[in-house]
């Protein structure tokens, strides 16, 4: 299976990640015309599709672990 990102061309954001048996490009069958399919092993939902064809994934900030409670 080949991993693909579904990208909304109105926002350049990855809206879904799917797997197909064959490599696909362009508008996926059955989906709206503003969505495109791009092969990506690392793209994640919420990532940004760049002009050079790469995908920049969102940065997920992990909150710091609180220290011990002082009385």
Say how far apart CA 16 and CA 22 lie, in whole Å: 17
DSSP-assigned beta bridge partners for residue 36: 7
pLDDT at 49: 95
Domain ranges across the chain: 2-51
The pLDDT value recorded for residue 55 is 94
**CB burial readout 9-31, b (16+ within 10 A) else e:** eeeebbeeeeeeeeebeeebeee
pLDDT in tens, 37-57: 999 999 999 999 999 989 999
Is the pLDDT higher at 62 or at 50? Answer: 50
Other CB atoms closer than 10 Å to residue 47's CB: what's the count? Answer: 21
pLDDT of amino acid 10: 95
What's the pTM? 0.76
């Amino acid at each position: 299976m080949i991993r693909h990102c579904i990208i909304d061309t109105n926002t350049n954001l990855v809206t879904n990640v799917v797997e197909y048996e064959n490599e696909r490009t362009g508008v996926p069958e059955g989906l709206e015309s503003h969505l495109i399919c791009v092969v990506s092993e690392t793209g994640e939902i919420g990532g940004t599709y760049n002009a050079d064809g790469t995908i920049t994934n969102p940065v997920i900030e992990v909150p710091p672990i609180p220290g011990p409670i002082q009385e």
